[in-house]
Chains A and B, each alone.
Chain A
Amino acid sequence: MILLPRGNPVKENINPGKVNLADALGKMRQGKFTGYMRFDFPEGTGVFIYQEGRLISSLFENEREHLIAYDGISRTFDESLNGNGKLNIYQLSTELAHSIHTLLHGEVLHKGQDLQLIDIKSLLIRMREEKRSGCLRIYSKEHIALIFYRDGSPLGFFHDGSTDIETTADSSMSVAKEPGAKVDVLVTRGDGKKSLADLMETADITGMWGAAVAERQRQREEHENAASKTQETKESDRWQKTQELFQSFAMAHLGKIGSLLVDKEFDKLKLNGGQISESALDDFYTKLGKSARMVAGPSKIDKMLEEMKKGFKGLS
């Protein structure tokens, strides 16, 4: 679960499976969008960060995987097409978007520390003394707030609903006071100000989307074929079991020739296609009864057919 504060909502609760994401990303670029797109799936969370229309960062994360750049985009596309996701788009300031990028790709120093158990002051002092750059992420069940640091000095605060780094700590501190609030300490390496490449320039987003759609289509067809084959196998098994059951009844009442008569009438029935059912078997019973009259009397034939009907019901 990637914990990020909500910025200024642009779009919320969209099903990404119903959106042409290649087009959507293109529009973000044309519109010089700054902020992030957050994809929540049962299989993980994807985040695309835009800075003035440039896709500077992408991430797909779950408990087992941490995919970035093209892999992150590709996986997010794949999961989107499954149709079980939720897309939220939040606008941020340019600086905050960059900070979130560094945050997402930073190193987790402490994770899920209970604020009631940790000496927050000592932590902040250590951040300053060690000249850390990074972020303190304070969160409760309801809210998230971020405190950004650069070289040990606090840059500002970010919390739900804000689009830029703020200088007042009120909201962030209020989150820290909520019951069960926790803190993550994330640190970044290198120059946080460095300009980041636009992934949309170096990647064929339309091609990646097309490949994801094609793969999805292939999987769907494969699934349908497998389902169809499963159904066919099931139906075939049902035919076989019914035939074997009827053969045993015919054998008991009419001998070997009865079993052969069942085979013959079953072959005719199969040629008609369709599923085996009581109504489809009516014609079979009539024809078998007629053939059976060559070698047995009505009472024996009626008894045999009655057993077959009961046996078939038992199989159903």
Chain B
Amino acid sequence: MDMFQVVLGFFWLVAGCVSFYFSIGNARVWTSIAVGFFLILVGEIIPGTLPFLPGLNNPYVLAMGHIIGTLAILIMSHGFQEYYVFTRTLDFEGSKLHVYLTVVGVIVASLVFLLINPTPDEGVLRVIRIVENTNWVFLSLINIDLIRKIHLNIKDTPISNGFLAFMVVFACIFLWKGSQLYMDVFSLDTKQHLINYTISHYANLVGDLLASLSVGGTFLYLGKLLR
């Protein structure tokens, strides 16, 4: 299982690097989307797939992982909203630097928020993880619909098929995060003998793997489309 986690980590590393690189070389609106996907790597995959790294049992590190994971879906959803507005109004604003600094600022503010509060225990971490997964699940569904609309608006452009790929990405993420949320809501980790747990557990792993592959693949595909 550890080997599988390492493979997952490798795929997310590739996906994160590709998405971050993509955020640098393309239009500003892609920055939010690409940085959001990159934050998955930073916030969740490192502590989740590489548990042997030092300090990863620290509750602050774990809490920050979940908070950054939450920020990731919020930032990329904001990016897709901006893109949708652009396809309707042809207007967009802001700068890449502004996006990077805002993301760093929000992360720092979140860390300060954690530090000025009592040390998060297991219960707090569970709540934060549920909040994170809830955001991912519902925003994935909303994003699928938003991306569908974007695709309709720009369906005769070179980039349009890239948005179909993003719909696949969010479907995989929905499977990944949805199964995790399901297990948390019903505390299935304490009832591992149930078939529900087994199904959810494997759905979670498959969703995770497919999400990492689809994210990396999608950004590589986008890079090809935007050459």
Instruction: Report the bound CA distance from A256 to B156 in whole Å.
Output: 7
Q: Which residues of B contact A234 (CB under 8 A)?
A: none
Q: Which residues of B contact A298 (CB under 8 A)?
A: 226-227
Most buried by A among B87, B92, B226: B226
CB under 8 Å from chain A, chain B span 200-227:
225-227
The reply to whether A255 and B83 form a contact with Cβ atoms under 8 Å apart is no
**Selected contact of A255 from candidates B157, B225, B226, CB within 8 Å:** B157
Instruction: Please give the number of chain B residues whose Cβ is less than 8 angstroms from any Cβ of chain A in the complex.
Output: 19
Instruction: Report the bound CA distance from A294 to B225 in whole Å.
Output: 11
Instruction: Report if B182 contacts A (CB, 8 A).
Output: no
Q: Which residues of B contact A296 (CB under 8 A)?
A: 157-159, 226
CB under 8 Å from chain B, chain A span 257-316:
257-258, 260-261, 264, 290-291, 293-300
Q: Which residues of B contact A73 (CB under 8 A)?
A: none
Chain A residues touching B, range: 10 to 19
The reply to whether A297 and B156 form a contact with Cβ atoms under 8 Å apart is no
Instruction: Report if A254 contacts B (CB, 8 A).
Output: yes
The reply to whether B90 and A297 form a contact with Cβ atoms under 8 Å apart is no
**Selected contact of B225 from candidates A254, A291, A293, A297, CB within 8 Å:** A297
Secondary structure of the A contact surface, majority rule: helix
Known pairs A293-B26, A297-B225; A254 contacts B90 (CB<8 A): no
Instruction: Report the bound CA distance from A296 to B224 in whole Å.
Output: 10
Q: Which residues of B contact A294 (CB under 8 A)?
A: 27, 29, 83, 86, 92, 159
Against B, the Cβ 8 Å flags (1 = close, 0 = not) of A236-263 are 0000000000000000011111101100
Instruction: Report if B154 contacts A (CB, 8 A).
Output: yes
The reply to whether A255 and B90 form a contact with Cβ atoms under 8 Å apart is no
Instruction: Report if B58 contacts A (CB, 8 A).
Output: no
The reply to whether B227 and A295 form a contact with Cβ atoms under 8 Å apart is no
The reply to whether B158 and A300 form a contact with Cβ atoms under 8 Å apart is yes
The reply to whether B157 and A295 form a contact with Cβ atoms under 8 Å apart is yes
Q: Which residues of B contact A258 (CB under 8 A)?
A: 157
Instruction: Report the bound CA distance from A264 to B160 in whole Å.
Output: 21
Against A, the Cβ 8 Å flags (1 = close, 0 = not) of B151-165 are 001111111100000
CB under 8 Å from chain A, chain B span 5-57:
26-27, 29
**Selected contact of B157 from candidates A257, A264, A290, A299, CB within 8 Å:** A257
Instruction: Report the bound CA distance from A300 to B226 in whole Å.
Output: 8
Chain A minimum-CB-distance residue to B87: A257
**Selected contact of B227 from candidates A290, A291, A297, CB within 8 Å:** A297
Known pairs A257-B87, A260-B90; A297 contacts B158 (CB<8 A): yes
Within the complex, the shortest CB–CB distance from A311 to chain B, in Å, comes to 20
Against A, the Cβ 8 Å flags (1 = close, 0 = not) of B66-87 are 0000000000000000010011
Instruction: Report the bound CA distance from A15 to B210 in whole Å.
Output: 94
Instruction: Report the bound CA distance from A294 to B92 in whole Å.
Output: 10
Q: Which residues of A contact B155 (CB under 8 A)?
A: 255
The reply to whether B27 and A257 form a contact with Cβ atoms under 8 Å apart is no
Most buried by B among A253, A264, A295: A295
Name B residues whose Cβ lies closer than 8 Å to a Cβ of A. Answer: 26-27, 29, 83, 86-87, 90, 92, 153-160, 225-227
4 shortest interchain CB distances as A-B pairs: A255-B156, A297-B226, A295-B157, A293-B27
What are 22 A-B pairs with beta-carbon distances under 8 A?
A253-B158, A254-B158, A255-B155, A255-B156, A255-B160, A257-B87, A257-B153, A260-B90, A264-B90, A293-B226, A294-B29, A294-B83, A294-B86, A295-B158, A295-B159, A295-B160, A296-B158, A297-B225, A297-B227, A298-B226, A299-B227, A300-B158
* 9 extra interface residue pairs, beta carbon distance < 8 Å, beyond A254-B157, A297-B225: A257-B153, A257-B156, A261-B90, A294-B159, A295-B157, A295-B159, A296-B157, A296-B226, A300-B158
Name A residues whose Cβ lies closer than 8 Å to a Cβ of B. Answer: 253-258, 260-261, 264, 290-291, 293-300
